[in-house]
Amino acid sequence: MACLIICLYSDILLEYQSMYERLCKPLESKSFFLFGARGVGKSSLLEKIFNKTPQNEIFWIDLLLPEEEENYINSPQRLSEMITQKKPEWVIIDEVQKAPKLLDQVHYEIEKRKIKFALTGSSARKLKRGGANLLAGRAFNNELYPLSSLELSNDFHLNEALRWGTLPEVYKLQSELEKKEYLKSYVQTYLKEEVYQEQLVRNTVPFRKFLPIAAQMNGKILNFNNLAKDLHVDWATVKNYYEILEDTHLGFILPAYSKSLRKQQLKGNRFYFFDIGVQRALKKELNLPIDFNQNIGNLFEHFIVLELMRLNHYFRKDFTFSYISTQGGLEVDLVIERPGEKTVLCEIKSTNSVREDHLKHLLALKKDYPEYKSLCISQEKEARNVSGIEVLPWKLAFDALGFSGK
């Protein structure tokens, strides 16, 4: 019965996932990791990748099932025993961080029997903490994110993305109430399954208080000392909390631009949550229509930064992202360093009518760095040039940066 339920569930996932072609394309010439937060569609993507592979050539282990987790934690050698019995070409291990010692067996099977593995994980934290064997190049690394605008294509609507984010489950739900409840449940599930059950923090009370504060600080320069005072912990604890968010794929650090600037720069990092809907759930803003949200500019900036980060991984561009904020008050939302191409100074404006005064920071830095390309990503309808700065609609900006879905 359990197998029947799992198969039916997998069929439902596969049917849904086929609605959208994912841009994440793991190379199947060798083993690979597929990392990503809970709910981004890792299992569904693997179902689709291996849909046409004969079932007798695949052995699937789902460590989210308690009995499977217990079996492989207690007896990692069971993996080799099952491979000997089933003789698969591919072994798929879902949520491998649940049994980190399995990776020693995976290493052995790759080396000795040339078995290929597809390994998913939502927490690099437990793998690192457990000293897990990360296979040292024997498996390619891939990351999967919430749905991008390119993947959603005609189903993408900016206002919806700014309000609810783009987790795949959100696009299965019809009503606003369902979306609210799903996102609130997602936050609670993360706390319960990724943090508390895995014992990533010893004292859960300050971490619970930290999450909504971190959501309020999304995209802002971080000051660990100030946050530590608010939470009544030390700065090292706050730093550790942000590392937990990164290691569980709930967000990423955007560093300050590291190259020399003639204007002294503030050095703090910025942090962005991996999904706007999850961030708004943590801030308890899901009941607020974004039409009345005073931070529409922040939401649009968050969306653009997320899209660029996702597309950079999917298109394998190897771009490096940072930001500029000087003590004199000059700010640029993104610095995009592109191997073999001009570095881009990028401002993000939610307006559909960009004025020259919106670009004063870019214009000031442009004088110091004429060799850099200057770009404003906006909601304007047509591309135009303002004092040497390209002002582009956001979709055209993605194309100009090489992230074309065509």
Q: Where are the beta strands (DSSP E) in 47-146?
A: 58-62, 90-94, 116-121, 140-143
Same structural domain for residues 314 and 386? yes
Same structural domain for residues 228 and 92? no
Same structural domain for residues 118 and 199? no
Do 283 and 216 form a contact (C-beta atoms < 8 A)? yes
Q: One digit per residue, pLDDT tens: the chain, 406 residues?
A: 434 334 434 444 444 444 799 999 999 999 999 999 999 999 999 999 999 899 889 999 999 999 999 999 999 999 999 999 999 999 999 999 888 889 889 989 998 999 999 999 988 776 766 555 667 778 899 999 999 999 999 999 999 999 999 999 999 999 999 999 999 999 998 887 777 766 677 788 899 999 999 999 999 999 999 999 999 999 999 999 999 999 889 999 999 997 766 666 667 899 999 999 999 999 999 998 887 556 789 999 999 999 999 999 999 999 999 999 888 888 999 999 999 999 999 999 999 999 999 999 999 988 888 899 999 999 999 999 998 999 999 999 999 999 986 5
Token duo for residue 267: 């050095």
Annotate 195-210 with b (16+ C-beta within 10 A) or e (fewer): beebebbeeeebbeeb
Say which DSSP state 251 is in.
E
Residue 406 domain flag: no
Residue 44 domain flag: yes
Residue 235 domain flag: yes
Token duo for residue 97: 């961080």
Residue 378 domain flag: yes
What is residue 14's predicted lDDT score, i.e. its pLDDT? 42
Same structural domain for residues 265 and 387? yes
Residue 280 domain flag: yes
Angle separating helix axes 235-247 and 204-216, nearest 10 degrees? 70
Find the domain containing 40 and state its range.
Answer: 2-143
Residue 28 domain flag: yes
Same structural domain for residues 205 and 345? yes
Residue 405 domain flag: no
Residue 275 domain flag: yes
What is residue 130's predicted lDDT score, i.e. its pLDDT? 54
Which residues make Cβ contacts (< 8 Å) with residue 22, sequence separation at least 6?
A: 41, 45, 48, 144, 151
Same structural domain for residues 108 and 242? no
- Give the SS3 label for residue 333: strand
CA 312 distance to own-chain centroid: 11
Domain stops at, among 114, 143, 172 = 143
Token duo for residue 366: 């442009």
Domain stops at, among 95, 113, 143 = 143
Domain count, the chain: 2
Same structural domain for residues 256 and 137? no
Same structural domain for residues 329 and 196? yes
| CA 388/CA 130 separation, integer angstroms | 52
What is residue 261's predicted lDDT score, i.e. its pLDDT? 64
CATH code for the domain of 103: 3.40.50
Q: What is the pTM of this model?
A: 0.91
Domain stops at, among 99, 118, 143 = 143
Same structural domain for residues 123 and 200? no
| CA 326/CA 330 separation, integer angstroms | 5
What is residue 72's predicted lDDT score, i.e. its pLDDT? 95
Same structural domain for residues 214 and 330? yes
Same structural domain for residues 106 and 178? no
CA angle 337, 343, 349 (to 5 degrees): 95
Token duo for residue 58: 């695949």
What is residue 194's predicted lDDT score, i.e. its pLDDT? 76
What is residue 294's predicted lDDT score, i.e. its pLDDT? 64
Same structural domain for residues 18 and 121? yes
